[in-house]
Structure 1
Protein backbone atom coordinates (compact mmCIF):
# COMPACT_ATOMS: atom_id res chain seq x y z
CA UNK A 1 0.00 0.00 0.00
CA UNK A 2 1.34 3.42 -0.88
CA UNK A 3 1.99 5.94 1.88
CA UNK A 4 -0.71 8.31 0.57
CA UNK A 5 -3.34 5.60 1.00
CA UNK A 6 -2.14 5.02 4.55
CA UNK A 7 -2.38 8.74 5.26
CA UNK A 8 -5.97 8.78 4.04
CA UNK A 9 -6.83 5.76 6.17
CA UNK A 10 -5.39 7.50 9.23
CA UNK A 11 -7.41 10.61 8.50
CA UNK A 12 -10.57 8.52 8.33
CA UNK A 13 -9.72 7.02 11.71
CA UNK A 14 -9.60 10.54 13.20
CA UNK A 15 -5.90 10.27 13.90
CA UNK A 16 -3.45 13.10 13.51
CA UNK A 17 -0.12 11.99 12.08
CA UNK A 18 2.37 12.81 9.41
CA UNK A 19 3.99 10.71 6.73
CA UNK A 20 7.44 11.43 5.39
CA UNK A 21 7.84 9.42 2.18
CA UNK A 22 11.54 10.20 1.81
CA UNK A 23 12.25 8.78 5.26
CA UNK A 24 9.78 5.88 4.81
CA UNK A 25 8.16 6.45 8.17
CA UNK A 26 4.78 6.95 9.75
CA UNK A 27 4.72 9.55 12.52
CA UNK A 28 1.98 9.33 15.13
CA UNK A 29 1.47 12.88 16.37
CA UNK A 30 -1.82 12.45 18.23
CA UNK A 31 -4.31 9.61 18.37
CA UNK A 32 -7.15 9.32 20.86
CA UNK A 33 -7.82 5.76 19.66
CA UNK A 34 -11.05 4.57 18.14
CA UNK A 35 -12.49 1.38 16.75
CA UNK A 36 -10.09 -1.52 17.10
CA UNK A 37 -10.81 -2.98 13.65
CA UNK A 38 -9.77 0.21 11.88
CA UNK A 39 -6.45 0.28 13.72
CA UNK A 40 -5.79 -3.43 13.19
CA UNK A 41 -6.29 -3.03 9.43
CA UNK A 42 -4.15 0.08 9.30
CA UNK A 43 -1.25 -1.33 11.32
CA UNK A 44 -1.26 -4.54 9.26
CA UNK A 45 -0.72 -2.36 6.19
CA UNK A 46 2.03 -0.41 7.95
CA UNK A 47 3.71 -3.68 8.96
CA UNK A 48 3.56 -4.96 5.38
CA UNK A 49 4.94 -1.66 4.05
CA UNK A 50 8.20 -2.05 5.98
CA UNK A 51 7.99 1.56 7.14
CA UNK A 52 9.21 2.71 10.52
CA UNK A 53 6.72 4.08 13.07
CA UNK A 54 7.70 7.19 15.01
CA UNK A 55 5.53 7.80 18.05
CA UNK A 56 5.78 11.56 18.52
CA UNK A 57 2.81 12.37 20.74
CA UNK A 58 -0.09 10.68 22.49
CA UNK A 59 -1.00 7.24 21.12
CA UNK A 60 -3.98 6.17 23.22
CA UNK A 61 -6.28 3.19 23.45
CA UNK A 62 -6.61 1.34 20.11
CA UNK A 63 -3.61 3.24 18.75
CA UNK A 64 -1.38 1.20 21.09
CA UNK A 65 -2.17 -1.87 19.00
CA UNK A 66 0.72 -0.70 16.83
CA UNK A 67 2.95 -2.31 19.49
CA UNK A 68 1.35 -5.70 18.83
CA UNK A 69 1.49 -5.57 15.04
CA UNK A 70 4.54 -3.61 13.87
CA UNK A 71 7.86 -5.20 14.88
CA UNK A 72 9.43 -3.42 17.86
CA UNK A 73 12.68 -2.74 16.01
CA UNK A 74 10.67 -0.56 13.60
CA UNK A 75 9.11 1.54 16.37
CA UNK A 76 10.84 4.49 18.00
CA UNK A 77 9.65 7.16 20.42
CA UNK A 78 10.36 10.85 20.87
CA UNK A 79 10.31 12.87 24.09
CA UNK A 80 6.68 13.82 23.31
CA UNK A 81 5.53 10.19 23.01
CA UNK A 82 2.97 8.79 25.43
CA UNK A 83 1.12 5.48 25.26
CA UNK A 84 -2.27 5.22 26.95
CA UNK A 85 -3.73 1.84 27.93
CA UNK A 86 -7.11 0.81 29.37
CA UNK A 87 -9.33 -2.27 29.46
CA UNK A 88 -11.25 -3.21 26.35
CA UNK A 89 -14.83 -2.04 26.26
CA UNK A 90 -17.76 -1.99 23.90
CA UNK A 91 -20.82 0.19 23.54
CA UNK A 92 -24.35 -1.19 23.60
CA UNK A 93 -27.27 0.07 21.51
CA UNK A 94 -28.11 2.65 24.15
CA UNK A 95 -24.61 4.11 24.06
CA UNK A 96 -23.52 2.59 27.38
CA UNK A 97 -20.02 1.18 27.78
CA UNK A 98 -19.47 -2.30 29.14
CA UNK A 99 -16.31 -4.21 29.97
CA UNK A 100 -14.84 -6.88 27.69
CA UNK A 101 -12.54 -8.87 30.05
CA UNK A 102 -11.63 -11.56 27.51
CA UNK A 103 -10.70 -8.95 24.90
CA UNK A 104 -8.66 -7.06 27.52
CA UNK A 105 -6.68 -10.22 28.31
CA UNK A 106 -6.11 -10.95 24.61
CA UNK A 107 -4.84 -7.42 23.99
CA UNK A 108 -2.59 -7.55 27.05
CA UNK A 109 -1.05 -10.83 25.91
CA UNK A 110 -0.42 -9.38 22.42
CA UNK A 111 1.70 -6.50 23.75
CA UNK A 112 5.48 -6.99 23.96
CA UNK A 113 6.65 -8.47 27.28
CA UNK A 114 8.15 -5.27 28.72
CA UNK A 115 4.89 -3.39 28.01
CA UNK A 116 2.83 -6.17 29.63
CA UNK A 117 5.13 -6.07 32.66
CA UNK A 118 4.81 -2.27 32.95
CA UNK A 119 1.01 -2.50 32.73
CA UNK A 120 0.94 -5.23 35.39
CA UNK A 121 3.18 -3.21 37.73
CA UNK A 122 0.77 -0.28 37.38
CA UNK A 123 -2.44 -2.12 38.24
CA UNK A 124 -3.33 -3.91 34.99
CA UNK A 125 -5.88 -2.95 32.38
CA UNK A 126 -8.88 -1.30 34.00
CA UNK A 127 -11.25 1.50 33.07
CA UNK A 128 -8.57 3.92 34.28
CA UNK A 129 -6.12 5.16 31.64
CA UNK A 130 -2.50 4.16 32.32
CA UNK A 131 0.03 6.41 30.57
CA UNK A 132 3.49 5.12 29.71
CA UNK A 133 5.90 7.95 28.89
CA UNK A 134 9.28 9.48 29.65
CA UNK A 135 12.02 7.28 31.08
CA UNK A 136 9.76 4.26 31.45
CA UNK A 137 8.88 4.43 27.77
CA UNK A 138 12.48 5.06 26.68
CA UNK A 139 13.54 1.97 28.65
CA UNK A 140 11.30 -0.15 26.41
CA UNK A 141 11.54 1.47 22.96
CA UNK A 142 14.45 3.14 21.24
CA UNK A 143 14.57 6.91 20.96
CA UNK A 144 14.12 8.25 17.45
CA UNK A 145 17.17 9.84 15.85
Structure 2
Protein backbone atom coordinates (compact mmCIF):
# COMPACT_ATOMS: atom_id res chain seq x y z
CA UNK A 1 0.00 0.00 0.00
CA UNK A 2 2.79 2.45 0.89
CA UNK A 3 4.53 1.72 -2.41
CA UNK A 4 1.35 2.53 -4.35
CA UNK A 5 0.98 5.85 -2.48
CA UNK A 6 4.68 6.66 -3.05
CA UNK A 7 4.40 5.90 -6.78
CA UNK A 8 1.25 7.98 -7.01
CA UNK A 9 2.95 10.95 -5.31
CA UNK A 10 6.04 10.69 -7.54
CA UNK A 11 3.92 10.48 -10.69
CA UNK A 12 1.87 13.51 -9.68
CA UNK A 13 5.04 15.49 -8.98
CA UNK A 14 6.48 14.53 -12.36
CA UNK A 15 3.29 15.63 -14.05
CA UNK A 16 3.68 19.13 -12.61
CA UNK A 17 7.32 19.55 -13.71
CA UNK A 18 7.52 20.93 -17.23
CA UNK A 19 9.39 18.72 -19.67
CA UNK A 20 12.54 20.19 -21.15
CA UNK A 21 13.08 19.60 -24.81
CA UNK A 22 15.67 20.67 -27.31
CA UNK A 23 14.61 22.75 -30.28
CA UNK A 24 16.03 21.20 -33.44
CA UNK A 25 15.98 23.62 -36.37
CA UNK A 26 16.02 21.78 -39.69
CA UNK A 27 14.17 23.92 -42.22
CA UNK A 28 13.35 27.38 -40.95
CA UNK A 29 13.14 30.11 -43.59
CA UNK A 30 12.20 32.86 -41.14
CA UNK A 31 9.12 34.96 -40.67
CA UNK A 32 7.92 37.74 -38.44
CA UNK A 33 10.62 39.13 -36.14
CA UNK A 34 8.24 39.63 -33.21
CA UNK A 35 7.17 35.97 -33.33
CA UNK A 36 10.79 34.82 -33.24
CA UNK A 37 11.59 37.14 -30.34
CA UNK A 38 8.77 35.60 -28.31
CA UNK A 39 9.65 32.04 -29.31
CA UNK A 40 13.32 32.36 -28.42
CA UNK A 41 12.56 34.21 -25.17
CA UNK A 42 10.40 31.23 -24.11
CA UNK A 43 13.22 28.82 -25.01
CA UNK A 44 15.73 30.93 -23.05
CA UNK A 45 13.40 31.10 -20.03
CA UNK A 46 13.03 27.30 -20.01
CA UNK A 47 16.78 26.78 -20.35
CA UNK A 48 16.39 24.67 -23.47
CA UNK A 49 19.09 23.95 -26.04
CA UNK A 50 18.87 24.81 -29.71
CA UNK A 51 20.40 22.45 -32.26
CA UNK A 52 20.70 23.94 -35.73
CA UNK A 53 20.60 20.89 -37.98
CA UNK A 54 19.65 22.45 -41.30
CA UNK A 55 18.43 25.78 -42.68
CA UNK A 56 18.09 28.72 -40.29
CA UNK A 57 17.46 31.83 -42.38
CA UNK A 58 16.28 35.35 -41.82
CA UNK A 59 14.47 35.91 -38.48
CA UNK A 60 15.47 32.40 -37.39
CA UNK A 61 19.01 33.71 -36.90
CA UNK A 62 17.79 35.93 -34.03
CA UNK A 63 18.39 32.85 -31.90
CA UNK A 64 22.01 34.02 -31.55
CA UNK A 65 20.97 37.20 -29.76
CA UNK A 66 18.31 35.78 -27.47
CA UNK A 67 19.27 32.23 -26.47
CA UNK A 68 22.62 32.01 -24.63
CA UNK A 69 25.38 30.91 -27.00
CA UNK A 70 26.35 28.03 -24.71
CA UNK A 71 22.86 26.61 -25.36
CA UNK A 72 23.20 26.66 -29.16
CA UNK A 73 25.17 24.32 -31.42
CA UNK A 74 25.33 23.40 -35.10
CA UNK A 75 25.57 20.07 -36.90
CA UNK A 76 27.39 19.59 -40.22
CA UNK A 77 24.02 20.14 -41.99
CA UNK A 78 23.59 23.64 -40.54
CA UNK A 79 23.22 26.65 -42.80
CA UNK A 80 22.54 30.25 -41.77
CA UNK A 81 21.11 32.96 -44.02
CA UNK A 82 21.08 36.73 -43.47
CA UNK A 83 19.42 39.56 -45.44
CA UNK A 84 17.94 43.02 -44.96
CA UNK A 85 14.61 43.13 -43.14
CA UNK A 86 11.61 44.02 -45.25
CA UNK A 87 7.92 44.68 -44.81
CA UNK A 88 5.39 41.88 -45.26
CA UNK A 89 4.81 41.65 -49.00
CA UNK A 90 1.12 41.02 -48.37
CA UNK A 91 0.86 44.69 -47.35
CA UNK A 92 3.13 46.09 -50.08
CA UNK A 93 1.33 44.63 -53.13
CA UNK A 94 3.93 41.86 -53.45
CA UNK A 95 6.91 44.21 -53.60
CA UNK A 96 9.88 43.77 -51.30
CA UNK A 97 10.29 47.07 -49.48
CA UNK A 98 13.23 47.21 -47.09
CA UNK A 99 12.72 48.28 -43.51
CA UNK A 100 15.68 50.19 -42.08
CA UNK A 101 14.00 50.13 -38.67
CA UNK A 102 13.47 46.37 -38.90
CA UNK A 103 17.06 45.81 -40.04
CA UNK A 104 18.38 47.96 -37.19
CA UNK A 105 16.24 46.01 -34.70
CA UNK A 106 17.44 42.69 -36.11
CA UNK A 107 21.11 43.75 -35.98
CA UNK A 108 20.70 44.93 -32.38
CA UNK A 109 20.10 41.32 -31.32
CA UNK A 110 23.15 39.83 -33.01
CA UNK A 111 26.30 39.20 -30.96
CA UNK A 112 29.62 40.68 -32.18
CA UNK A 113 30.61 37.44 -33.95
CA UNK A 114 27.52 37.57 -36.18
CA UNK A 115 27.88 41.30 -36.83
CA UNK A 116 31.54 40.78 -37.73
CA UNK A 117 30.73 38.03 -40.25
CA UNK A 118 28.01 40.19 -41.83
CA UNK A 119 30.42 43.13 -42.06
CA UNK A 120 33.23 41.00 -43.55
CA UNK A 121 30.78 39.77 -46.17
CA UNK A 122 29.60 43.16 -47.42
CA UNK A 123 26.82 43.90 -44.95
CA UNK A 124 23.18 42.97 -45.26
CA UNK A 125 21.59 43.22 -48.70
CA UNK A 126 18.37 42.03 -50.30
CA UNK A 127 20.16 38.85 -51.33
CA UNK A 128 20.50 36.04 -48.80
CA UNK A 129 24.08 35.66 -47.57
CA UNK A 130 24.68 32.14 -46.35
CA UNK A 131 27.14 30.48 -44.04
CA UNK A 132 27.49 26.72 -44.29
CA UNK A 133 29.31 24.31 -42.01
CA UNK A 134 32.96 25.22 -41.56
CA UNK A 135 35.30 27.69 -39.88
CA UNK A 136 33.16 30.79 -40.60
CA UNK A 137 30.21 29.15 -38.89
CA UNK A 138 32.30 27.83 -35.99
CA UNK A 139 33.56 31.37 -35.29
CA UNK A 140 29.94 32.19 -34.47
CA UNK A 141 28.67 29.04 -32.77
CA UNK A 142 30.16 25.77 -31.54
CA UNK A 143 29.65 22.48 -33.38
CA UNK A 144 27.31 20.05 -31.64
CA UNK A 145 28.65 16.95 -29.96
CA UNK A 146 28.30 13.91 -32.22
CA UNK A 147 25.38 12.50 -30.21
CA UNK A 148 23.21 15.35 -31.56
CA UNK A 149 23.72 14.45 -35.24
TM range (shorter): 0.7 to 0.9
Would you identify which runs of 4 or more consecutive aligned residues in structure 1 move more than 6 Å?
none
Q: Is the 8 A contact 1:55 1:78 kept in 2?
A: yes
Per the alignment, in what secondary structure is the counterpart of residue 97 of structure 1? coil
Q: TM-score, normalised by structure 1?
A: 0.80
Partner Cα separation in structure 2 for residue 34 and residue 110 of structure 1: 16
Residue 108 of structure 1 is matched in structure 2 by: 107
Residue 63 of structure 1 is matched in structure 2 by: 60
> What does the per-residue CA deviation read over 1:16-58, in whole Å, with 9 as the maximum and x for residues that have no partner?
xxxxx5xx31111110111112111111100101011000000
Mind listing any 5+ residue stretches in structure 1 that lack a counterpart? 4-20
Distance 1:40 1:78, change over 3 A: same
CA shift, 1:140, in A, is 2.1
1:40 aligns with 2:37: yes
CA shift, 1:93, in A, is 4.4
Superposition RMSD on alpha carbons, in Å?
1.7
Partner Cα separation in structure 2 for residue 40 and residue 104 of structure 1: 14
Q: TM-score, normalised by structure 2?
A: 0.78
Residue 138 of structure 1 is matched in structure 2 by: 138
Mind listing any 5+ residue stretches in structure 2 that lack a counterpart? 1-17
Q: Is the 8 A contact 1:109 1:116 kept in 2?
A: no
For residue 78 of structure 2, the aligned residue among 78, 81, 99 is 81
Partner Cα separation in structure 1 for residue 28 and residue 80 of structure 2: 10
Tell me which of the two structures has the higher relative contact order, counting C-alpha pairs closer than 8 angstroms and 6 or more residues apart: 2
Aligned residue pair count: 126
Residue 121 of structure 1 is matched in structure 2 by: 120
Partner Cα separation in structure 2 for residue 27 and residue 86 of structure 1: 22
Q: Which has the higher strand share?
A: 1
